[in-house]
Each structure stands twice: as C-alpha cells, then as structure tokens.
Amino acid sequence: MPRKKEEPQKAAEIIEQPITETIIKNYMPYTMSVIVSRAIPAIDGFKPSHRKLLYTMYKMGLLHRERVKSATVVGETLRLNPHGNDAVYQTLVRLTRAHEALLHPFVDSKGSFGKHYSSDMDCAAMRYTEVKLDKICEEIFRGIEKNAVDFVENYDNTTVEPTLLPTAFPNVLVSPNIGVAVGMASSICSFNLAEVCDGAIALLKNPNLTAEDMLDIIKAPDFSTGAFLIYDREKLLQIYRTGQGSVRLRSRWVYDKKNNCIEIVQIPYSTTIELILKRIAALVKDGKLKEISDFRDEIDINGFRLTIDLRRDTDPEKLMAKLFKHTPLEDSFDCNFNILVDGVPRQMGIVEILHEWIRFRMGCLRRELEFELDELRKKLHLLLGLSKILLDIDLAIRIIRDTKTEAEVVPNLMEGFGIDKEQAEFVAEIRLRNLNREYILNRTREIESLRNEISELESILASEEKIKKIIISQLLEIKKKFGQPRKTQLLMPEDIKEFDEEEYIEDYGVRVVLTREGYFKKVTFASLRGNDEHKLKEGDEIIAELDTTNTAELIFFSDKAQAYKAKASEFEPTKASALGDFLPAKLGLDDGERIIAMQAYQKDSPLDKNFVIIFENGKGVRVPASAYETKSNRRKLTGAYSDASPVVAIYYEDEPFDLLLISSQKKGILINTELIPQKSTRTSVGVQLFTLRSGHKLIAAVRDLSSYPSAEKCRKRKIPAAGVAIDELDAEKQQIKLN
C-alpha cells in the first residue's frame, strides 16, 4: 500500500505586537508582583514572607508554647509561602534572636543561626534548631482575633492569611528592612523602640510636628550591631524629611595596652567581618599597614571581636584613623524609605511614615472596638430575652414540656414570650439544672453593666481623640515593657580625629628619575651611596633626574597636553640597578601617550610659584602652580598646556632662574624667567622669546649652565631676541632633551 504523502509543515505565524503592549501585558504584572508581594515592606513593617511566617507560628500556638523544631515551622509555613524550604528558613533565621540582625527579634531561638555580621558563619540545618515566638509578638498580633485586619485566601484557597499585622507600635521604623524590587528598592534603617514610641505619642498629641521637632525626639537610627553613628544633623534632617540619604557608622574599639593590641568589639551594621579582614589583608600585603604585625577573627561565645596586634611604638589612635579611612571599619548605611501604603509604594520621611502608621493603627483599633461592640450587643440581646423568662419560668418549662416536636420548641418560646429566634435558641439551650430563678437573676444582672460598656464603646468610636488616647496608653505600656537603651551611640564630628595621610608619610630624601621610555625610579640617598649607576633598557635614556623628598608632589606632563599628578610616597623605593615603575601602566596613560617631563614640588608650597613652559616655536609662558591644584584627588588633568606647538621643556619655578634657549641653528639666548610673562590659563600659547628664522626651531632649554661657560654672552634683557652663536655647542651631544 503506498504511503500517504506528508504535508509540509506550515511556518509558525508571527504576530506583531507593539512593545508598549508587551510591557503592559507581560512585564508590568511581574513588576507589580515583585514590588507588592515580595521586596517592599508594608506599613506594618513586614514583607509578605515575614508576615506569612510569623502568622503561621502564631496559629501554631508558639506565642505561649515551648519551642519546636524549625523544620516543623518551615513545613507549616509552606501552606502560605510556597517558595521552598531554604527560602523560608533563611527568612526565619533573620528574625531570630541568635542571628542578631534585629534590635527586637520576633523569634526566640535555640541553636546556631549564624550572625548578621558574618557572611561565612552559616546557620545549622533546620532539623537541629528550635524556635518559638518572642514575647514582643504579643504586640504584633494584638487584636488580630478581633477583626483588626483583613484576611485573604492563601495561594490554593485552603486557608486564610492576614493582609497586614495589627502592630501596636511603629514596627516599620523599629525593624530594619532592605529589599530590591523591579525599578525601585527599599532600605529602612532601624530606630530605637523607646524613641519611636515617644515620637508617635508626640505626633498623636500634635499632628503638626516637623522633621526638626521629630529629630529632637528620635535622635538618630539605632542598629543591632551597635557601633558609633557620626552625627550630621543636616543629613539626618534630609532623611527625616524625604526618606532618602545616608548615615556614617564607625566601629567601636578598645586598646589593650598590656598586649599592645586593638580589639574591635562592634562594627557597622552595613558590613561584615570578612569584608574588613579582606581589606586589611590587602593593605598589609601592599605595605600600607606596616604598623600591624598580625590580625585575626576572635568571635566566640561571648560575641564579636576582631583583634589587631600592633608593632612597637605604634600610635593606636593614628592607626585607627587610618583604618577608618581605608577599610569598612567605617561604613555608610544608605536610606531609602520606600513603603507600601494601601498597596502603593511611597517614599516618605519619618513624620509622614508615623502619620500613615497612626492612620493604620487607628483603623485597626476602630475595627477591634466595633468587633467588641458587636459582641456585647449580641450578648445584651440574648440576656434581654432571658430576662423575659424570669417573669414566668414555669411557663417556659411548660411550653418546652408540652411541645410535641423539637422543631416546635423555638417557635413556641418565641410566641409565648414575644422574643426573636436568637433569643429563643439561647433559652432553649439552657440546661435543665439552670432553669432556676438564681441562675437567671445572676445572668440578667449583667444587663446594666453591658449597657454601660456598650455606651462607653460607642462614645470611644465617636471620638477620634479617645481612640488616640488608647493608642498612647498602649505605646507607653510597650515602651515600659520592651524599651531598651540605644545600642548605637552618637559621635559628634568635632570629636573625630580624621585621617591625614600626610602625617603617616615618612619624610626622607629621595632622587626621582624619569626615562624616555616612561620608566620611573624613586631611589633613597642611602641607596645611592652604594651604587648610583642606573640600569636602563637598551636604547633608553634619562630625561629628568631630581632630588626631592618622599612627601613631595609629582606632576608628569605628557606629549598629548595632559598632566598626571601623583605623590612620591605612592611609589615604592627601589635601587638604581632596577628598571623601576612603568608609568603608562601606573598612571593609566592613553594609548600611544608618553611622559615627556616631570617636576616635583611640596604640597604646602606658596601658591605664587609657577611652571615655566617652553615651546618649539620659540614661545614661552609662566603658568601659576595654583592652576594645577585640584580639590579632589584627581590624577589626570586635560589641557595641561597649549598644544599649538610641541613642548621643549617644563620647569618648576620656586624662584626666578636663568634659562638658556638653544635653537637648531646652534644659537642661543640666555634669559631670566622673570622676563617670561605670566598667564593664568594653562592652555595659553605664550609669547615669543626667541626670534627664529623660517624652518628653524628650539631644540633645548637648559637650566644647568655648567656645560656652557660662554652662555653669559648670550644674555638678553628684552624679548623677543635673536640668538647668539654658542661656542661649546656640540651637535652630536646636544639632542632634544626635556628636563
């Protein structure tokens, strides 16, 4: 039988879709899901993962029970948060007391949970550790059984979970939270609970408080790792007003004089001990921390400790100033108070956050009171029906006894006493032993007290001020029960000894050498005594050799009209027999760029000093040294001099000196640099110094006249000037040299 011919497959149809439609349909739902359901905390201070975990523990009864295995909690939490065991366990770890990430942990823990200040210290497996809810969670869940917040179905509609937790204090400012969503992020630092309660109370009493007022109450952020916060009122005000900014944190340390070592006992919240050790190790390896003989992590059961052993005669204050400058022992915490309010992310300052929390808390409390009021009204309604039975108990018994069927009992009671169905059901459910006058009288005596309670609740619900008073009393109670002194102490800027690198630079005489191929050497005078013959690459030669000090500033000029600044101390001392540092790599020169001149000067030199620049076209200019000053530590300066003509020589003029200019005609003029006009602009083309004939150029500008005894006959008092023949000029010896 012949095979049926297969039909050719049709090419997949391509449907064009505008990019905007793709973003709206595919990207935006994902974006909003990450923002709302994962990364950004809500006004209760929790992300969804935190909320689901804590609520699961609450429903397990772990607020008042003994600890259970973490694995049990993780397994139960998966009913609300199906993101895998490890993700849920890591969320649990961060909330524990043992992890030390929170000022007020929500989970009382037993076992090893790692540490917030260490990235290498892992937690034990969940089957080994045990947890329960900490006592402060009573305030987190206060009123949750009284309809204080909304509940929604979980992901598979098998149970319900709260949309928010009815926190009785502004947990959003007490618990730190960091999250990265899509297109936005949140970074909320923690504040002291007692201060936050005081701030909320003050705002409840006076809604018109400003950020300045709040800063006087809530002094500054407070972190679980302690350390010092460098107090900058203006920066803190910016955070309090806008919710954005940063604070500087500095480690706490003590000096052990007996063992000559420094002990770091608290570090910034934003770093880890591994980052600090890695940075110290790199500095020691580079020879920039010669004061340290050893350093080690000594974290133990007693807590955090990093020990640094010092060499003899090391000043611990100066060393710590240096470490604060170059390591994460001083770090910053970036604040970005993005918070979900009614499902919408908002960046808010402290006062605005507290206003929103107060609005949220008043809503929770109002719902609690309405729930209680409804329960009291239901109870009063039943007792009013019971009070009618008191008028004729015998009739109630007779009605029940004479009723033929159970279904007719409630209707007959309703008809016999004029009560509704709920009241009749309540009476019918009373046990036979309680159908006596004493029981009924005792129950109906509650009617008056119930009416008073209902009246009081209605009065509270009708008054916003009374609701605020309840919140204030709750905050005062929480402050008394859970308030604790600040862990992060404030450090005033005037009490800080800033690191001044100049203080740590050893000052000694050096000779700096530059070669045409771009090699640089810094040789000590002591080293030169043994051998002053410089090793050079084949074909290379020295173009600049200066005697200066290790504290000097160096400026290198390139053939592309750029200058590069460096400090002599940045280069390691070497021997004359070594090649030295390769400047194009060291300074980061552009491709094909080479250094043609070098000068050294002291940073504290008077600003009236100049750079003398001589060009090939016979022109020259004096540029103030101040024109090369930079406010930052910028290395590269573009437009260092005019590129209209090639440079012949560049000198640093601390005082006027004689300069012999030599042309390609073997003629020269000797002038004092005072004759050269000063221009304030670095790129000035200068003025004509040497009158050159067509086709000729300057080939050298010589400061050391020892090789030119006849130079004096070339002296000129005015410029421009024509050249005079130089007797000693040797064409083979005198090349274009840049000094």
Q: What CA–CA distance (Å, rounded) separates 554 from 568?
A: 6
Contact by Cβ (8 Å): 255, 308: no
Q: Range of 569's domain?
A: 501-725
The percentage of residues in the chain with a pLDDT greater than 70, rounded to a whole number, is 94
What CATH number is associated with residue 375? 1.10.268.10
Distance CA(542)–CA(518), nearest Å, equals 10
Question: Three-class SS string for 351-401?
Answer: HHHHHHHHHHHHHHHHHHHHHHHHHHHHHHHHHHHHHHHCCCHHHHHHHHH
Are the C-beta atoms of residues 689 and 676 closer than 8 Å to each other? yes
* CATH value at residue 314: 3.30.1360.40
DSSP state of 495: G
**Cα–Cα distance for residue pair 186/184, rounded to 1 Å:** 7
The whole-number average pLDDT for the span 71-97 is: 94
In which band, very low, low, confident or very high, does the pLDDT at 255 lie, cut at 50, 70 and 90? very high
What band does 507 get if pLDDT is binned at 50, 70 and 90?
A: confident
More confident residue, 576 or 251: 251
Q: Do the domain assignments include residue 683?
A: yes
Classify residue 735: in a domain, yes or no. Answer: no
Residue 609, phi then psi, degrees to nearest 5: -80, 160
Pairing of strands 581-582, 519-524: antiparallel
Q: Please tell me whether residues 304 and 261 are part of one structural domain.
A: yes
Say whether both 556 and 703 belong to one domain.
yes
Degrees to nearest 5, angle at CA 250 with 248 and 255: 165
Are 609 and 691 members of one domain?
yes
Tokens of 482: 């859970």
Residue type, 145: E
Asked if pLDDT for residue 245 goes beyond 90, the answer is: yes
Q: Please, which pLDDT band fits residue 161 given cuts at 50, 70 and 90?
A: very high
Residues 409 and 442 in one domain: yes
**Using 50, 70 and 90 to split pLDDT, how confident is the model at 5?**
low
State which of 24-38, 203-217, 582-596 shows the largest mean pLDDT: 203-217
Same domain, 134 and 55: yes
pLDDT of 251 higher than 90: yes
- Structure-derived torsion over alpha carbons of residues 387, 388, 393, 399, reported in degrees to the nearest 10: -140
The pLDDT score that the predictor gives to residue 7 is 58
CA nearest to 385, candidates 334, 416, 426, 415: 426
- Specify the pLDDT at position 608: 67
DSSP-assigned beta bridge partners for residue 519 = 582
Tokens of 311: 């060499």
Query: Is pLDDT at 462 greater than 80 in this prediction?
Result: yes
Examine the residue annotation and report whether 128 is marked as an active-site residue of this protein: yes
What CATH number is attached to the domain comprising 591? Answer: 2.120.10.90
More confident residue, 21 or 6: 21
The residue to which tokens 């130079």 are assigned: 711
Q: Which of 27, 30, 128, 155 is catalytic?
A: 128
Q: Which of 387, 357, 434 is nearest to 200 (CA)?
A: 357
Of 482, 516, 550, the position where a domain reaches its end is: 482
End of a domain among 141, 166, 191? 166
Q: Kindly state whether residues 512 and 621 are assigned to the same domain.
A: yes
Residue 737 has pLDDT above 50, yes or no: no
Q: Cβ–Cβ contacts within 10 Å for residue 727, how many?
A: 11
282-302 pLDDT, tens digit each: 999 888 888 899 999 998 888
Strands, E, within 111-159: which ranges?
Answer: 130-133, 151-153
* Domain-located, residue 70: yes
Question: Is 538 within a domain?
Answer: yes
Task: State how far Cα 617 lies from the chain centre.
Answer: 55
State the CB neighbour count (10 A cutoff) for residue 179. 18
CB atoms within 10 A of CB 599: 25
531 and 625 co-located in one domain: yes
Give residue 654's pLDDT: 83
Q: How far is CA 534 from CA 144, 538, 585, in A?
A: 83, 12, 21
pLDDT digit string, tens, across residues 219-235: 999 999 999 999 999 99
Reduce the secondary structure of 192-258 to three states and give it as a string: CHHHHHHHHHHHHHCCCCCHHHHHHHCCCECCCCCCEEECCHHHHHHHHHHCEEEEEEECEEEEECC
Return mean pLDDT, the chain: 89
The neighbour count for residue 437, using CB atoms within 10 Å, is 9
**Position 186 in a domain:** no
**Would you state the pLDDT for residue 123?**
93
C-alpha distances (whole Å) from 296 to each of 263, 273, 277, 576, 653 are 10, 10, 8, 38, 50
Residue 738 has pLDDT above 60, yes or no: no
Residues 298 and 412 in one domain: no
CATH of the domain at 113: 3.90.199.10
Q: What is the pLDDT of residue 604?
A: 65
- Quote the distance between the C-alpha of residue 212 and its chain's center: 23
Q: Looking at the structure, do residues 429 and 378 belong to the same domain, yes or no?
A: yes
Give tens-digit pLDDT for 8-19: 555 567 777 788
Q: Is residue 474 part of a domain?
A: yes
Domain boundary among 131, 166, 201: 166
pLDDT for 6 equals 56
Torsion sign over Cα 103, 108, 114, 119: negative
Q: Do 578 and 692 fall into the same domain?
A: yes
396-438: per-residue pLDDT in tens? 888 888 888 888 889 998 988 889 999 999 888 888 777 777 8
**What CA–CA distance (Å, rounded) separates 342 from 347?**
13
**Backbone dihedral angles phi then psi of residue 320, each to the nearest 5 degrees:** -65, -35
What is the model's pLDDT at position 94? 96
**Within a domain: residue 400?**
yes
pTM above 0.85, yes or no: no
Q: Tell whether 540 and 655 lie within a shared domain.
A: yes
Tokens of 227: 């350390």
The answer as to whether 710 is a domain residue is yes
Query: Do residue 675 and residue 560 come from a single domain?
Result: yes
Q: What are phi and psi of 364, to 5 degrees?
A: -60, -45
Number of domains in the chain: 4
Question: 670-729 pLDDT, tens per residue?
Answer: 999 999 999 988 899 999 999 998 889 999 898 888 888 888 899 999 999 999 988 776
